[in-house]
Each structure stands twice: as C-alpha cells, then as structure tokens.
A and B are shown apart, each in its own frame.
Chain A
Amino acid sequence: MHIAVLGLSYKTAKVEDRGRAAWTADQLPGALAGLRAVPGVLEGAILSTCNRTEIYAVLERINSRDALLEFWSRQKGVAAKDLGGLCYFREGEEAAAHLMRVASGLDSMILGETQILGQVKESYLLAQDHASIGKVLHELFNKALACGKRVHTETAISQNAVSVSYAAVELARKIFGDLKGRRALLVGAGKMGGLTARHLAENGIDEILVSNRTYSRAEEMAREFGGRAVPFDRLPEWLSQADVVISSTGAPGVVITREMVQQAMRARRFRPLFLVDIAVPPDIEAAAGGLDNVFLYNIDDLEAVVLANLEERAREAQKAERIIAEEVGSFQFWLRSLDVVPLIKSLREKAEEIRQAELQRAFNRLPRLDVREREIIAGMTAVIVNKILNDPTVRVKEFAGGEDAEVYLRAFSLLFNLSNGFPEAAAGDGSGRGAGSVNGS
C-alpha cells in the first residue's frame, strides 16, 4: 500500500497545456471511475482547478508513475510523452506533504490563498460520493483539510491584501479601524476605482457616494454597489463629507487640489481623511498629502503595500511549513500503524491455531477429563499465549509509529514467520515510506 501523486500545475505547465490536461466538472465522475479501474490502483482522487490538475492514488506497488500517466493520457487524449514532460510525481511521505502544502495554499500562485482549500474539499467529497477513495485517502484528505485550516488560523499567511484594490481597503482599516459609520466617495468611473468601492462595501462601509462628470454614468455605477450618485460640480462639498475618497478619473490634470482638501478638512474639523488616487496621471495634487490628518496614497504606494504583504506571507509560510511537517508526521504515524494491524492479527491467528491444535491433542490423550477440567486447561493455555504475545504486540505498535518502522515490522514478520501479514516485506519492496521516492521519479 503506497500513496502517490501525479500532477501538473502553473509551475510546470502553461495555461493552454493545463487546459488540455484538465478534467471539467462533468467529466470528473467518469475519470474517477476510470482511475479506480486501473490495475494496481486501490484508491483514487482527482484535484482539478484552473491552476493545477493532480491525481492522488493509493497503489499496490511503488513505481506506478507510468500506469497513472497512461491512464491520464488515454482519458484526455494527450500523448503520454508530452504529458509526462509537464508532470511531477511524488510518492509516500512526499505525496502526503504535497497535498498538505497544496491545501494550505503554500503551492498556490498567490501564496496563502484560501480558495484552494475549498477546492481540495470538493474533490475529496466528489471522490467520496463516487466511492473511489478508501480509508487511506480518506484520512489523508481529512488531515490535509485540517492542516489547511490550522495554517490559516495559526499563521497570518492569508490575512493581508495581495491586490491593489484590496490594499486600499486594508489601509482604510489601518486608519479608521472599523469601516462602519464611514462614508466613501468614488470620483470617476475607472475600473480599479469601482473594484475598490465594491471591496469597501463588502467590508462594511456605510455609504458610497459616486461622482462623475457624466451624471448618468455615476448613477449607473451607484446602482451597481448600492451607492448614491452625487453631482460632480459640488465635489468640494462631498469631499468634506467623505472619510475615504477614491479617485480614478481619466482627467488629464488635477481634479482635487490641495486647496480643496484643506477646505474640506476645515469643514470636517480635521477628522482623518483617506485619499486614494488610482488614476494615471494623478487626480489629486500630491501636496494635499502633507496636510494634517490627510493620508494620500497613489497607485505606487498601494503596490508597495502589496509587496510588503507578500513578504509578510513568505515569512508566515515558514511557520506554515512547521505545521505541515507536524501534520505529515501524524499522518505517517497513522499510516504505519495500519501496517501493524494485519501483522498483529496474523500473529494472533497463528498463535490461536497452534493453541487449538495442541489443546485438541492433549484432550485426545486425556479422555477422562470432565468439562470443568477442560475449561481450566483451555483457559490456562489462553492466558499463557496472551501473556507471551502481550509484550511483542505492544512493542511492535510502538515501533510501527517511529523511525525505522519498516525494519522492525519486517523483522517482526520474519521472526514469527508470518507470511500473509506483510506481503510487501515478503516481496522485498519496502512498505512505501520513503523508499519509493529514491527510485521513484
């Protein structure tokens, strides 16, 4: 039993190649059934998003890359050779760690994004619905989802804005705290301005005023995010009423002068005013930013915020890696302890077989024993067997979770000559942990 992942992502494949290799939502059930039918595949799940397509499988043997690749190429009609060049293949612990990193957003194009966690969950649920996964992938996906949640709650990896429009919202929050009770003024009809206004609305700002040279356009935009259109010629007045001003007009010159801002500040009793100028060329006179309690940011400043946030995410990613290592360790522990269960079971069965056979022989030679005496003898043999087997059973469970589990498990099965409990050991392949990755890819 052996976990592997074969996949491609934005890191290894261009968008058109990703498109050719991806399954659409309605193709996925068929693909899962096909995957399950591949010889040697015990369990299978497929994660397919616009940035990655990955096949997770539990396989009978290591080195099953070609089987998976062959399946994929047949399904999508892409030559295996082409597909193979775009793919990465990981096995055992590395495959488990890969899914955990993916679910945590560490492998995403935008580091720490949370959407992927939902997509991993969807592919897990889909695989479950179509009964293509068993207990191993079930446990792996659950661990990965829990790991993703831990990463998002225990680190700040997904907390900061990584888009310019959202960076403006974040800055507004750094000034005003809660956006409740605040009013925004959107000047001009630029796309980025509209996006920022929408983010502000989503983050609880009370009211959005929209002002545009063309009043009908202002009305149109106001309808779009529940704002109120206001006449452009009374801009100074609106300026004094708004806490956040987003300017993105196509005007060639300055629309909001320092003088206008100064007057607005007086009218608003110097309460803080947050000005965002996303227009190129700028709409707001730069000198306005020097006024007390006026905070003026242009597009470059917002990009600097995004950059700083990405750096912060990279720092948090290191913490996330530690969480992932923990979760992978805990999954590996679970996986190894799976190996030990059949081993112990077969040892117990073997002992019981011997006990019953010997008991029968003894009873045959002592025909005059009554029921009670037989019971006492049978009970005694059971106690002897249990007491002798107790220590090895407990110890092997401990070894199974630790380092060198394979060596111990193999020694255990050889010592007790258990042929059926540990087939991989008998075949000399190793149990999948680590060993596969050496000669895997």
Chain B
Amino acid sequence: MGGSGQWLFALTVLLYLAGAVAYFVHFYFRQWDRLSLWLARAAWVAHSLALLSRVAESRQPPFLTGYEAILFMAWVIFLNYLMLEYLFNLRVVGVFLLPVLFTFMVYAAALPKGAEPDLPAAEYWVAVHAVIALGGYAIFALAFVAALMYLLQERHLRRKDFNVVYQRLPSLETLDGLTYRLVVYGFPLLSLAIITAAIWAREVWGVPWFHEPKALWTVLIWFMYGAYIVARVRGWGGRKAAYLVVAGFMAVLFNLFVVNLVLTQRHVF
C-alpha cells in the first residue's frame, strides 16, 4: 500500500480511538456532545478514504486479503451503526461499538498488507458473495454489541447495582428488541451468502460446498442465529437468548480469524 493509504489508515485508527474516548466521556460525564459526534463522522470519512485509496491502488474490490476484509467489514459495521444512530438516536451503542472497531483496526494493522490475492480469480461473483457475507456479519456485529449491552444491563438490574452505567444504558426491552431486529436483518444476508457459495463452489472449484471447513462453520453459525430467531418468535427471550447472539458472533469471529488462518485455503476471510 502506498504512502497516502498508510497515512489514511493510521488516521482512521487514531480517529476511532479518539471517537471511543469521546463517546465514553459523553456516555459517562455527559460532556463533549458535539465533539464525539464529529469525531465519529470524521473516523468514517477517513475510513472511507482509506478504503478508496486501497481500491485505487490495487484496482480490485477491497476484500481479497484478510487485511482488506477486516477493513471493509469494520467500514460496513460503522456505516450501519451511523444509520442506526441517525435514525434512532442510539448513541449509547456507539460507546460499546467504537472500542470493538478500534480493536478490529489494530488487528488489521498487524496483518500483512501488501499480499496479492492468491485466489484463482477475483471474479464478479466473488465480490457479490463477499459483500453479502460481510454485510451480514456487520449486522451481526451490531447485534452482538446490543446483546452485550443487554447482558450488562441485566446484570446491573439483577445485582441491584444502580451506578452510572445502569443509569445511562437503555431499558432491557429496547436492547432486546434492537438485538432481535438486527439478527432478523442479518439472517437473510447470511442465508444468501451460503446459498450463493453452495451454487458457485461447484462451478468454480468443482467440489461440493461441504468439503470446505469454512462453509461448515458458516452453516453452524446459520443454525445458531436461526435457533435464536425461532426461540424469539416463540416468546423465549432474555438472558439466554442474548448469550446465543454473543456465542453466534464469537463463532463468526472464529470463522473469520481462526478458520481462515489454520483450516482453509480457498477463503481469505
């Protein structure tokens, strides 16, 4: 990656850190109201520019290496969050999301950046499949954050710990509903990603999809989120459901970071 790309990436990471701090200060001390909003927006703009400069340089979609995939997914997550923030005024989610994004970016920084994609082809469908999958994961990431907030608030209510965090966090109902809605939006994307992969895997590699460990993991993830939705539809919610969403996203992370490095050759993410 060239100089400007590196520079933009570093700026993005810094802005995420600054944004995380500012959101926390706003959350806890009710200060820096405007500042935190603008830092978050600036982080998103810097992030977008970093992605663009990457694309301009490689002339390929920005998710063919692990580094790019994380960069891209974090960008999609943040885009989704900003829409959420704008539509529902849920800035409190940002307090918990920004540190997660910052961690993503730091992790990405540790990955090799310059590697050329070793895929047979950066073809059109790969891009479609990747965008759908990453979009779904991005929404699950937000659901994960909402579920964590639910568990945190539930813990405060159960332990009768009425501290500042308790006072600032929204109601269980709000967090539970937010988690549910996000999973419901993310689930069709995940399903679509699996279906496209299953069909195209045969065409490209000539092997059935279940020969790929990554695909098996993904199906497991699909079952976890599917079970959550079924449970919720039948009225079963609360703490256990929230744990399921957390576990689901842990599986997503495992899929992205561990399965990739150790078990698979075909997927980069």
Residues in A lying within 8 Å of B, measured CB to CB: 155-156, 160, 171, 173-178, 269-272, 289, 292-293, 295, 297, 301, 304-305, 308-309, 312, 316, 319
Task: Known A269-B234, A269-B236, A270-B236; judge A175-B157 contact (CB<8 A).
Answer: yes
A-B contact pairs, 27 of them (CB 8 A): A171-B157, A173-B171, A174-B153, A174-B171, A175-B157, A175-B171, A175-B172, A175-B173, A176-B173, A177-B172, A269-B235, A270-B236, A270-B237, A270-B238, A289-B158, A292-B238, A292-B240, A293-B237, A293-B238, A295-B157, A297-B160, A301-B160, A304-B162, A305-B162, A308-B166, A312-B164, A319-B30
Q: Are the C-beta atoms of B235 and A304 separated by less than 8 Å?
A: no
Q: Are the C-beta atoms of A156 and B162 separated by less than 8 Å?
A: no
Neighbouring B residues of A309 by C-beta, 8 Å: 162, 167
Q: Are the C-beta atoms of A178 and B160 separated by less than 8 Å?
A: no
A153 to chain B, nearest CB (A): 12
| Residue ID in chain B nearest A173 by CB atoms | B171
Rounded to whole angstroms, the CA-CA distance of A174 and B152 in the bound complex is: 12
Task: Known A173-B171, A175-B171, A176-B173; judge A292-B160 contact (CB<8 A).
Answer: no
Q: Are the C-beta atoms of B163 and A308 separated by less than 8 Å?
A: yes
Task: Known A177-B174, A319-B30; judge A272-B238 contact (CB<8 A).
Answer: yes
Q: Are the C-beta atoms of A177 and B236 separated by less than 8 Å?
A: no
Rounded to whole angstroms, the CA-CA distance of A96 and B65 in the bound complex is: 66
Neighbouring B residues of A155 by C-beta, 8 Å: 30
Rounded to whole angstroms, the CA-CA distance of A316 and B174 in the bound complex is: 25
Q: Are the C-beta atoms of A174 and B172 separated by less than 8 Å?
A: yes
Check B41 for interface membership: any CB of A closer than 8 A. no
Neighbouring A residues of B172 by C-beta, 8 Å: 174-177, 272
Task: Known A177-B174, A308-B162, A319-B30; judge A160-B157 contact (CB<8 A).
Answer: no
Neighbouring B residues of A272 by C-beta, 8 Å: 172-173, 238
| Residue ID in chain B nearest A156 by CB atoms | B30
Neighbouring A residues of B170 by C-beta, 8 Å: 177
B163 to chain A, nearest CB (A): 7
Choose one: A176, A270, A295, A319; the contact of B235 (CB below 8 Å): A270
A-B contact count (CB 8 A): 60
Neighbouring A residues of B234 by C-beta, 8 Å: 269
Highest count of chain A CB atoms <10 Å: which of B153, B171, B237:
B171
Rounded to whole angstroms, the CA-CA distance of A301 and B157 in the bound complex is: 10
Q: Are the C-beta atoms of A177 and B157 separated by less than 8 Å?
A: no
Q: Are the C-beta atoms of B239 and A292 separated by less than 8 Å?
A: yes
- A156-B30, A160-B167, A177-B171 given; 20 more Cβ-contact pairs under 8 Å: A173-B171, A174-B166, A175-B157, A175-B172, A176-B172, A176-B173, A177-B170, A177-B174, A177-B177, A272-B172, A292-B238, A292-B239, A293-B238, A301-B160, A304-B162, A308-B162, A308-B166, A309-B162, A312-B164, A316-B30
| Residue ID in chain B nearest A171 by CB atoms | B157
| Residue ID in chain B nearest A307 by CB atoms | B162
Neighbouring B residues of A270 by C-beta, 8 Å: 235-238
Neighbouring A residues of B166 by C-beta, 8 Å: 174, 308
A173 to chain B, nearest CB (A): 6
Residues in B lying within 8 Å of A, measured CB to CB: 30, 153, 157-158, 160, 162-164, 166-167, 170-174, 177, 234-240
Closest 8 CB pairs of A and B: A269-B235, A308-B162, A177-B173, A177-B171, A293-B238, A177-B174, A301-B160, A176-B173
Neighbouring A residues of B235 by C-beta, 8 Å: 269-271
A231 to chain B, nearest CB (A): 27
Q: Are the C-beta atoms of A293 and B239 separated by less than 8 Å?
A: yes
| Residue ID in chain B nearest A298 by CB atoms | B160
Neighbouring A residues of B173 by C-beta, 8 Å: 175-178, 272
Choose one: B157, B167, B171; the contact of A312 (CB below 8 Å): B167
| Residue ID in chain A nearest B156 by CB atoms | A174
Rounded to whole angstroms, the CA-CA distance of A271 and B167 in the bound complex is: 23
A106 to chain B, nearest CB (A): 17
Rounded to whole angstroms, the CA-CA distance of A155 and B30 in the bound complex is: 8
B84 to chain A, nearest CB (A): 17
Rounded to whole angstroms, the CA-CA distance of A175 and B36 in the bound complex is: 28
B215 to chain A, nearest CB (A): 34
| Residue ID in chain A nearest B171 by CB atoms | A177
| Residue ID in chain A nearest B153 by CB atoms | A174
Q: Are the C-beta atoms of B157 and A174 separated by less than 8 Å?
A: yes
Rounded to whole angstroms, the CA-CA distance of A155 and B240 in the bound complex is: 36
B236 to chain A, nearest CB (A): 6
Neighbouring B residues of A156 by C-beta, 8 Å: 30
B18 to chain A, nearest CB (A): 23
Rounded to whole angstroms, the CA-CA distance of A297 and B174 in the bound complex is: 21
Neighbouring A residues of B158 by C-beta, 8 Å: 289, 295
B155 to chain A, nearest CB (A): 12
A269 to chain B, nearest CB (A): 4
Neighbouring A residues of B162 by C-beta, 8 Å: 304-305, 308-309
Neighbouring B residues of A174 by C-beta, 8 Å: 153, 157, 166, 171-172
Rounded to whole angstroms, the CA-CA distance of A176 and B177 in the bound complex is: 11
Rounded to whole angstroms, the CA-CA distance of A229 and B54 in the bound complex is: 69
Rounded to whole angstroms, the CA-CA distance of A155 and B153 in the bound complex is: 23
| Residue ID in chain B nearest A293 by CB atoms | B238
Neighbouring B residues of A178 by C-beta, 8 Å: 173
A172 to chain B, nearest CB (A): 9
A26 to chain B, nearest CB (A): 43
Rounded to whole angstroms, the CA-CA distance of A292 and B238 in the bound complex is: 8
B13 to chain A, nearest CB (A): 32
A274 to chain B, nearest CB (A): 9
Neighbouring A residues of B171 by C-beta, 8 Å: 173-177
Rounded to whole angstroms, the CA-CA distance of A363 and B161 in the bound complex is: 90
B34 to chain A, nearest CB (A): 13
A186 to chain B, nearest CB (A): 21
| Residue ID in chain A nearest B157 by CB atoms | A295
Rounded to whole angstroms, the CA-CA distance of A312 and B164 in the bound complex is: 8
Rounded to whole angstroms, the CA-CA distance of A309 and B167 in the bound complex is: 9
